[in-house]
Amino acid sequence: MEYLPNILFGVLLIAGIGFFSRNVNSLLRNIKLGKDVDVSDNKPQRWQNMARIALGQTKMVVRPVAGLLHIIVYLGFIIINIEVLEIIIDGLLGTHRVFAPLGSIYNFLIASFEILALLVIISVTAFWVRRNIIRLSRFIKPEMKGWPKKDGNMILYIEFVLMILFLTMNAADFQLQQLNAEHYTQAGAFPISQHLASLFQGMEVSSLIVIERTAWWLHIIGILVFLNYLYYSKHLHILLAFPNTYYGKVVPKGKFKNLDAVTDEVKLMLDPSADPFAAPAEDEGEPGKFGASDVSDLNWVQLLNAYTCTECGRCTDECPANQTGKKLSPRKIMMDTRDRLEEVGKNIEKNKGTFADDGKQLLDDYITREELWACTTCNACVQACPVSIDPLSIIMDMRQYLVMEQSSAPSELNNMMGNIENNGAPWPFNQMDRLNWAND
C-alpha cells in the first residue's frame, strides 16, 4: 500500500503520454497527406524566423495589449512546466520537492513560478473579458460560432484552474511547513500563496495534507488532460508554431509559385531550336492535376499551416475584402482546411489506412467560390499572421484549379485573359489603336 500512489501516478503518466503519442501520430499522418515540397533553402533565414517569431513573439506585440497578455501566458506555460518536472519525479519516487536541495536557486524558481501564475490568472481573465464582454469584432465573426468559441473559452478556463490549483497546493504546503509537518521540508519562497495560507489557519495537519495532495493530483491530471486536449483545440499552435515559422515563406510575399508544366511549355515556345511538333519524352508523362480542389492536392506545409492556426482573427481583421463585407475570411479558409483534413483523417482510420471516396472535397463543400474570388491577393493576411501562416497560397491553388481544370472564372477575369491572349494587354484594344485616346 505504501507504493500504491506511486504506481497509480506511473499508470496515469503512461496513459497520458500514450494518448498524446497517438494524437501526434494522427497529426503527422494527416500532414503527410499533402504533396511534397522542397523547403530546404535559406536555412539561416528559417532559423532566424523561428527564433524571432515563434520564440521572440515579435509579431504578437504589433498589437501591444494582446501581445503583452499573450507573452505573459506564453512565459507562464513554458517556465511553470519546469515545476511539472519536479511533480513527475516526486510522483514516481514518492519524494516531496525533490529539487529543494538547490536552496536559494529553488526559492527563486518557486517565487518566479508563483508571480507568473498570478500574472497568467490576470491575463486569461483579461482575454475572457475581451472575448465575452467587450466582444471584439474579430471574435464574433460567423466562423467563430459554436465550437470555436467554446474551445477558446475552454482553454482559458483550464489555464485559470491550473494556476489556482498550483497556488492552492503551494499555500497548503507553506502552512504545513510552518507546522513542521512530517515529510514537508522547509523549502521554497511563496510570495503569492503565503497570503492564501491564511485561509487554512487553524486547520488540522491531516486536513491540510488532504488539501495539498488533492490540489497536487488535480494539477498534474489537469496538465495531462490539457496536453491531450491540444490536438482537438486551436491551441495546437503551442507546439506547431516553431516548425511552422521555420518552414514559412522566405521569398518576397509578392512572388507567386509558377507551375513547372507551364514554365516548361513557355520555355519550349521561346526556344527557336525546339520542334513544336515533337512528341513529348516518355519520362515526362501527362501533366498532373493543376491547382487544388481538396486537401490532398495541397502541400504538407499548407496542411501544417492549417493545424497551426491560432484562430486569433488578425488575418481576417486586416483583410480588405472582409472589411468591405465580402464573404472571404482568411481565418475561415484555414479552419475549413483543418476541418476537411480531420474528416479525411477519420475516413482513413475508419477504412484501415485507405481513403474511401466520401463525395466531398474542400472546394464547394467547405470553401465557396465566392470566397476565393473575393481575395485581392494583397498579402495582408500573411503579413498579419503571428505564426507565419499563408492563407493566400491555398486560395491561389484553388483558384488555379478553377481556371485551369474547370475553365471556371468570373466573366470579368475571362474577358481580361482573352484580351491578354488577343491583344497582349488586359484592355480590349489592339496595339495599333491603344494610343488613339491621346489624339483627342
Separation CA 219–CA 158 (nearest Å): 10
Residues 6+ apart with CB under 8 A from 387: 53, 54, 59, 237, 240, 241, 244, 245, 308, 310
- List, for residues 70-102, the tens digit of each pLDDT value: 888 888 777 777 788 889 998 998 888 889 898
Separation CA 431–CA 420 (nearest Å): 11
User: Over pLDDT 70: what percentage of the chain?
Assistant: 97
pLDDT band of 402, cuts 50, 70, 90? very high
Separation CA 290–CA 408 (nearest Å): 13
What's the mean pLDDT in 167-186? 90
pLDDT band of 279, cuts 50, 70, 90? low
Residues 6+ apart with CB under 8 A from 34: 295, 296, 298, 299, 300, 301, 302, 303
Q: Where are the domains of the chain?
A: 4-31+63-246, 260-273+287-423
Q: Which residue type occupies 384?
A: A
Identify the top-confidence range among 148-162, 276-290, 425-439: 148-162
Picking from 61, 71, 54, the residue whose alpha carbon sits closest to that of residue 387 is: 54
Q: Are 233 and 28 in contact (CB under 8 A)?
A: no
pLDDT band of 286, cuts 50, 70, 90? low
What's the mean pLDDT in 160-179? 92
Burial (CB count within 10 angstroms: exposed 0-12, middle 13-18, buried 19+), residue 423: middle
CA R_g for the chain: 28
CATH classification number, 260-273+287-423, choose in 1.10.730, 3.30.420, 1.20.1510, 1.10.1060: 1.10.1060
Separation CA 244–CA 26 (nearest Å): 18
- Does residue 162 have a pLDDT over 80? yes
Separation CA 121–CA 408 (nearest Å): 52
Partners of 35 in beta bridges: 299
Picking from 248, 236, 283, the residue whose alpha carbon sits closest to that of residue 264 is: 283
Q: Per the confidence metrics, is the pTM higher than 0.85?
A: yes
Q: Which residue type occupies 255?
A: K
pLDDT band of 280, cuts 50, 70, 90? low
For residue 283, the model assigns a pLDDT of 53
- Does residue 343 have a pLDDT over 60? yes
What's the mean pLDDT in 155-178? 93
Separation CA 359–CA 375 (nearest Å): 27
Partners of 367 in beta bridges: 363
Q: Are 348 and 354 in contact (CB under 8 A)?
A: yes
- List, for residues 40-75, the tens digit of each pLDDT value: 999 999 999 999 999 899 999 999 988 888 888 888
What's the mean pLDDT in 133-150? 94
Q: How far is CA 391 from CA 66, 286, 382, 402, in A?
A: 22, 29, 7, 17
